[in-house]
Structure 1
Amino acid sequence: MGDTGSIVVGVDGSNHTVAAARWAAAVAARSGDTLHLVHVMSSVDQALMTIITPEREDAGSAPRELGHEVLDRTADAVRADFPELSIVRTLSQRPIEDLLTELSRQARLVVLACADVSPLGALVVGSTTVTVARHSHCPVVAWRGDASAPNPAPIVVGIDETREPHACLMTALGLADQLGVPLIVVHALSPRRAPGDINIPILVDYEELEHEALQRLSSAVAPVAGHWPRVDVRCAVGTGNASRVILDHADGAQFVVVGNRGRGSLASAILGSTGLSLLHHSSVPVIVCPTPAASDEAHSVQGVSPNTTAARQ
């Protein structure tokens, strides 16, 4: 997580977005961040209000009044839980994706209520959550469920062994440290073998392959996790589809952290096949981390060994 101090939440007045704002407020209260509530008036809303109330000279102000009511109602719900929390409100006519992407430059998190995102729907129609997650400069929380505040359950982060794990891992470690919860670092082994390897399933020692992968994963995680010595970190490896392996470990977790890049499929052109699948199937909130810049990808974090427990799953 970064050093800036705001958590941005997109709200539309629905109970689901109010619940997401309450969850974000609980996180902001723990970290000392400002909660930034954002509501966007659509051009359709403005046109309808102007048509419905043509006799009013200030008919155009009606959508603004409704927008302020949405923000006020959400802020009141948040203040009932956290009366001392600093809250900023923004009412805008800009496209929500553009506004949230711009605000993400100075935010710690962007939070959006998200029931689910079907892969086909995201490809054909598009989704605010997918679009913002793709372009955001900070992690994006696709919030779902009924938890109004963080809980003692662990955080799960999915790591791709072929790429620098630092962006997702540092986000997950920072949140785990802030919330005082364990972190499970998960890596999925593909059941498909590389060219030249043995491909007969009965001859493949998956247990040994997972053991070797677990050792590599633990070695990669240790230097980064050493900067958060209070976090109880456990590494886990499984064989199969990456999203399915992560979901298996996410059962009982409070949220999942994943990167926004995939491997060349149509879905990954938008977000990443694993991230898109988690957005669709996960029953807990999913935090999508932005792709780091090339300079960040090359950066290697050095530190002392953390309290890391390696567990074969």
Structure 2
Amino acid sequence: MSGPVVVGVDDSPSAMAAVDAAAQEALLRGADLHVVHAFIWPAMHVPPGASPLGPPAGGVRESIEHLLHEAVDRARAVAPGVRSTSAVMPGEAAAALEAESRTAQLIVVGHRGSGGIREVLRGSTAVHLAAHGRCPVMVVRGRPEPEGPVLVAVDGSPQGQGAIAFAFAEASMRGSELVALHAWSTWSDHGESGPGHPVELVDLTADLDQLRAAEERLLTEALSGHRERYPEVTVRPRLVRGRTRPTLIEASDGAQLMVVGARGRGGFAGLLLGSVSQAVLHHANCPVTVVRSGL
């Protein structure tokens, strides 16, 4: 896919980590890097220039330009061969970056911080972009293991094929192993058997070995075709009996990147993204890329 890698920056502690990751992604793709800061000037009710009561270089505009220069310098240090540009975008961060996603091949943002209204809003920007962006969205969080595998969540649905394709491409570019994880469970695994709950259907229709074999076929079929396209990628399928969210979060420890899919339909960000994708965005131990179906 053509277009730049776009990274959204602010003054949060995670912003520079996002710049590092975005610069590396641009280098892997042979793409340009575009550093963006979104700002609603009128809402601040302050002049963009320096205040007459403060130092000459103390204005809001100067502070933002300094932030962008710092981000671009950092990107060039990480990936000297990448062409890096910057811009201040008018408007709210989520809307500005969503607009950028129409021509970008990847959007990169930092993870949610740890307190205060600003941090909550920052987190919702990541969720909004993952749900509504027009390209894959990487949320940089946790402590990625540089030598670890790319981890992709496989659910067997047609909507999840885009995430699998993206994960194979990432593993190929990074020269890393790909772990394809499919978690499956029965009603009893969710604590729903016993008094007052339906009898576990698997006990009535099939034994666990048959169910496990069916889930293994689902995983194999989901990966077919992609393996032929990327023969250089070492694939390690993992079939795990357990609940999807905690299984993925645990598996992210030691990975360099996790890739998950999103439904691509719906009116609200939460419904559109899905509970599993939202959970890993907030709790994974490595960066997470969300790939919406149809991208």
TM superposition score normalised by structure 1 = 0.78
**C-alpha distance in 1 between matches for 2:20 and 2:146:** 13
**C-alpha distance in 1 between matches for 2:132 and 2:8:** 16
Q: Which residue of 2 aligns with 1:303?
A: none
Q: Which residue of 2 aligns with 1:31?
A: 29
The question of 1:198 aligning with 2:195 is answered no
Aligned 8 A contact 2:10 2:37 in 1: yes
Q: Which residue among 18, 21, 25 is the counterpart of 2:19?
A: 21
Counterpart amino acid of residue 276 in structure 1 = Q
**C-alpha distance in 1 between matches for 2:273 and 2:159:** 17
Q: Which residue of 2 aligns with 1:88?
A: 85
Once the two structures are overlaid, the 10-residue window that deviates more, 154-163 or 242-251, is 242-251
**What are the superposed Cα offsets for residues 87-136 of structure 1, whole Å, 9 maximum, x if unpaired?**
02111222211121111122111000004699xx9999970001111111
Partner SS state of residue 229, structure 2? coil
Across the aligned residues of Structure 1 and Structure 2, the Cα RMSD in angstroms comes to 3.5
**C-alpha distance in 2 between matches for 1:135 and 1:267:** 7
Q: Which residue of 2 aligns with 1:152?
A: 147
**C-alpha distance in 1 between matches for 2:53 and 2:181:** 61
**C-alpha distance in 1 between matches for 2:90 and 2:269:** 30
**C-alpha distance in 2 between matches for 1:236 and 1:141:** 23
Aligned 8 A contact 1:262 1:268 in 2: no
Aligned 8 A contact 1:263 1:272 in 2: no
* Inter-CA distance 171–116: structure 2 relative to 1 (3 Å threshold): farther
Aligned 8 A contact 2:34 2:84 in 1: yes
Q: Which residue of 2 aligns with 1:169?
A: 164
Q: Which residue among 277, 281, 284 is the counterpart of 1:282?
A: 284
**C-alpha distance in 1 between matches for 2:160 and 2:272:** 20
**C-alpha distance in 2 between matches for 1:263 and 1:138:** 15
**What are the superposed Cα offsets for residues 45-77 of structure 1, whole Å, 9 maximum, x if unpaired?**
742456982679x99x93222221111011112
Q: Residue 199 of structure 1: CA displacement?
A: 4.9
**C-alpha distance in 1 between matches for 2:221 and 2:237:** 10
Q: Which residue of 1 aligns with 2:139?
A: 142
Q: Which runs of 5+ in 1 are unaligned?
A: 294-313
Q: Residue 15 of structure 1: CA displacement?
A: 3.7
* Identity between Structure 1 and Structure 2 (%): 30
Q: Which residue among 244, 247, 254 is the counterpart of 2:246?
A: 244
**C-alpha distance in 2 between matches for 1:231 and 1:160:** 20
**C-alpha distance in 1 between matches for 2:160 and 2:146:** 25
**C-alpha distance in 1 between matches for 2:141 and 2:66:** 23
Aligned 8 A contact 1:166 1:224 in 2: no
TM superposition score normalised by structure 2 = 0.82
Counterpart amino acid of residue 130 in structure 2 = A
Partner SS state of residue 226, structure 1? helix
Q: What is the correspondence of 1:70-85 to structure 2 with a 5 Å cutoff? A: 70-85=67-82
Paired residues, what number?
Answer: 282
Aligned 8 A contact 2:152 2:179 in 1: yes
**C-alpha distance in 2 between matches for 1:290 and 1:51:** 40
**C-alpha distance in 2 between matches for 1:230 and 1:115:** 35
Partner SS state of residue 152, structure 2? strand
Q: Which residue of 2 aligns with 1:40?
A: 38
Q: Which residue of 2 aligns with 1:4?
A: 2
Q: Residue 152 of structure 1: CA displacement?
A: 2.4
Partner SS state of residue 73, structure 1? helix
Q: Which residue of 1 aligns with 2:174?
A: 179
Aligned 8 A contact 1:37 1:87 in 2: yes
* Inter-CA distance 50–229: structure 2 relative to 1 (3 Å threshold): closer
Q: Which runs of 5+ in 2 are unaligned?
A: 189-197
Counterpart amino acid of residue 69 in structure 1 = H
**C-alpha distance in 1 between matches for 2:113 and 2:163:** 21
Q: Which residue of 1 aligns with 2:124?
A: 127
Counterpart amino acid of residue 2 in structure 2 = T
Q: Residue 157 of structure 1: CA displacement?
A: 0.7
